[in-house]
Amino acid sequence: MPGLTESELAKFAAAQRSVGFVEDGMKLGLGTGSTAAWMVRCLAARARAEGLRLTCVPTSDRTAVQAKDLGLEVVSLDEAGWLDLTIDGADEIDPAMNLIKGGGGAHLREKVVAMASDRMIVIADPGKEVVQLGAFALPIEVLSFGLDSSVAQIARVLENAEVAARTTQVRMAGDAPFRTDEGNCIVDANLGAIGQPEALAHALNALPGVVETGLFLGVCDSVVIGHGDGRVDMIAAPGAAPETSRVDPAEAAHLPG
């Protein structure tokens, strides 16, 4: 497909397959990031073509704008109540379907929405699959109040953690710390490899300045991996054999948005 990279086509393929799990009347959580943005376009196209009545809860302000622009009904999580399905991207996916998320700075709302859903499907290109979490810097959302103190407390936790590296940096947006949609800051922790994700998540979440980490442990139910040639591997549960199907990469050019 001219104009689209292999990686974009892979994201489209995963996104297109994932919206096949959407049914009329569903309440949906919409993820954030470039892969999720493909999903919102695929979803809007399907909703338009089939007249689906969907209620959507975006996980970020930018996804909310995109979804509304494409004609999807957007409500708050509290207006929607419990959700049937959340579809979102990830930065890393391990064989147990544990994730690192938050590269786009939205992991707090993403986790709140995913945890309020019957099911979370993660969509990704093959580059997101890892044997062990940690090569991608772990995003840790912290209060802006006492930011330096939280960075120091995180460093102390990392001293006792089973990780391969221990450097951190405050995520910046120009000269100022990046702010999430909730007005918080993000500390990115370069850990190399995370030996005990549960213990690390527990220790970090025990710090009062930490709002939430990008570790999604036991939250994801199914994974859809797209490939640049339109092949899609659907893994229904951790350890399940992938079911392979195909989508037409040419359809990417006809999506709204």
Active site residues: 110
Q: Distance (Å, rounded) from C-alpha 88 to C-alpha 101?
A: 10
CB nearer to ligand 5RP: give 149 or 168.
168
Report if residue 7 touches ligand 5RP, rule: CB under 6 A.
Answer: no
Q: Which of 106, 120, 138, 151 binds ligand 5RP (CB under 6 A)?
A: 106
Report if residue 39 touches ligand 5RP, rule: CB under 6 A.
Answer: no
CB nearer to ligand 5RP: give 54 or 99.
99
Q: What is the footprint of ligand 5RP within residues 17-36 (CB under 6 A)?
A: 31-36
- The alpha carbon dihedral of 168, 172, 177, 178 has a sign of negative
Report if residue 90 touches ligand 5RP, rule: CB under 6 A.
Answer: yes
- Which region, judged by CB under 6 A, interacts with ligand 5RP, from 102-110, 180-188, 222-230, 234-242? 102-110
CB of 214: closest distance to ligand 5RP in angstroms?
7
What are the Cα distances from residue 241, in Å, to 95, 203, 236?
A: 11, 33, 8
Helix (H) or strand (E) holding 28: strand 27-30
Q: Give residue 37's identity as a one-letter amino acid code.
A: A
Each residue of 121-131: b (16+ CB within 10 Å) or e? Answer: bbbbbeebbbe
Applying CB under 6 A, the residues found at the interface with ligand 5RP are: 31-36, 88-91, 101-107, 110
